[in-house]
Amino acid sequence: MAWCVVVLLAAGLALAVASLARLTRDDPAFDLASRAAWRDGSVLHRIDRAIDVPYAPFLRRWQAALRYRLLGDLGSQVREGCPGWLFYADGLRPPPATANVEPVDAALNARVATLHRYAEALRSNGIALVVVTVPDKARVETAALCGLRQDPRMTMRFDAWRHALAAAGVAHVDLLDALRAARPAFYRTDVHWNAAGAQAAADAVGAKVLPILGARGDVRFATERARTATPRVGDLLKLAGLGDVPDGWRPAPDLEVDETMHVQTSGGLLDDGPPPEVLLAGSSFSRRSAFAERLGAALGREIWNTSLDDGQFDRALAAQWTQRASWPKSLRVVVWEMSEDALSMPPGDARVADASRDQKN
């Protein structure tokens, strides 16, 4: 056994050295000669990311599987509440970078200032702003926590944001009651809402937006559903390193009946839809479980969905903001969706500052 370990270590060392030599030769940016990089430790991080041995993914998968099976441990980023219910650790407590700051801190104040700039600029152009803050899964699925607890500072920051929205006179859709009424509104092994949660959210947002538009449009959507349910491996399973291990070695994936929605057309070659009246700029929630299509069905309109995965606080809206001179004249409402955890990002978050600078230009 000892000699087997020695051989594995030697083989790993040889492969690692070969990988580093290849990178040093082929990638000019991969510089190992910098003294400053060695002093601050950044070169070691580069080496760690660059080393890739063939059996490393296999070892990582089974290390995670054994850790969960023997110890019930899902790593530093995932927690298990009731059996099979997984939660993102940053939804339960502030990230380490913000753990020792006040709930209403410089970062939240900067976000509030950014909110005011967006709202005022849109009002001046005759466009209404509707803000949608998606409460964290732990705030909604309270019956599935089973001993887990959400840090009170998270609630204080969430409430401070909602009060800031009210003080700014910005339309805000409070999804908490709607999602709780639809429970389970989230997947067990994912941070995102399921079809029931997305539908409840779309109905709530639609009820806020429709009076601004005046009346429901004529666009209709068709829904296609699969005949049988299939396993859906959620992002929390993947985050715990258990995305590709057998079911007996991890919490069971969700079962989902796949569902797609699309606009019904007359079938003509020139069957163009009406110009967009609603812009949806949000996070990955707006790209999951057909939320945009469900909102479109509630409004009778196609939604111009520019949402981004890892949308954070305003990444999608900031990206569109630089192009607002080319927005269609038909646009009447901007729906800005964000997840609650975006409010707890570190104070030095560059995206808030970038958005503020864009709005001044």
Instruction: Enter the pTM of the model.
Output: 0.81
Whether residue 198 is predicted with pLDDT greater than 90 in this model: the reply is yes
Whether residue 22 is predicted with pLDDT greater than 70 in this model: the reply is yes
Neighbours of 1 (CB within 10 A): 5
Domain, as residue range, for 136 = 86-360
Q: What local confidence, expressed as pLDDT, does residue 51 receive?
A: 65
**What would the pLDDT profile of 124-136 be if each residue is shown by its tens digit?**
999 999 999 999 9
Q: What local confidence, expressed as pLDDT, does residue 53 receive?
A: 60
Sequential DSSP letters for 275-303: PP-EEEE--GGGGSTTHHHHHHHHHTS--
Which carries the bigger pLDDT value, residue 45 or residue 259? 259
Whether residue 360 is predicted with pLDDT greater than 60 in this model: the reply is no
What does the pLDDT average to over 211-239?
95
What does the pLDDT average to over 251-262?
95
Mean pLDDT of the chain: 87
* Class of residue 231 by CB neighbours under 10 A (exposed 0-12, middle 13-18, buried 19+): exposed
Tell whether 61 is covered by a domain: no
**What would the pLDDT profile of 23-50 be if each residue is shown by its tens digit?**
777 776 666 667 766 766 666 766 766 6
Tell whether 59 is covered by a domain: no
Tell whether 42 is covered by a domain: no
Q: What local confidence, expressed as pLDDT, does residue 281 receive?
A: 97
Q: What local confidence, expressed as pLDDT, does residue 354 receive?
A: 35
How far is the C-alpha of 179 from the C-alpha of 186, rounded, in Å?
A: 9
Tell whether 119 is covered by a domain: yes
Q: Do residues 194 and 289 touch, judged by C-beta distance below 8 A?
A: yes
Tell whether 356 is covered by a domain: yes
Tell whether 270 is covered by a domain: yes
CA neighbor of 203 nearest in space, from 181, 231, 222: 181
Which residue, chain included where needed, has tokens 């849109």? 122
CB neighbours of 191 closer than 8 A, spacing ≥ 6? 88, 91, 137, 234, 235, 236
Domain count, the chain: 1
Q: What local confidence, expressed as pLDDT, does residue 268 receive?
A: 55
Tell whether 53 is covered by a domain: no
Q: What local confidence, expressed as pLDDT, does residue 50 receive?
A: 65
Q: Do residues 249 and 303 touch, judged by C-beta distance below 8 A?
A: no
- pLDDT band of residue 104 (cuts 50, 70, 90) is low
Least confident interval from 40-44, 60-64, 138-142: 40-44
Q: What would the 3-class secondary structure string for 224-268 be?
A: EEEEEEEEECCHHHHHCCCCCCCHHHCCCCEEEEEEEEEECCCCC
Tell whether 179 is covered by a domain: yes
What does the pLDDT average to over 64-75?
94
- pLDDT band of residue 347 (cuts 50, 70, 90) is very low
**What would the pLDDT profile of 271-311 be if each residue is shown by its tens digit?**
567 899 999 999 999 999 999 999 999 999 999 999 999 88
**What would the pLDDT profile of 146-176 be if each residue is shown by its tens digit?**
999 999 988 998 999 999 999 889 999 999 9
* Class of residue 336 by CB neighbours under 10 A (exposed 0-12, middle 13-18, buried 19+): buried
List helix spans (H) across 76-194: 106-124, 137-140, 152-167, 176-181
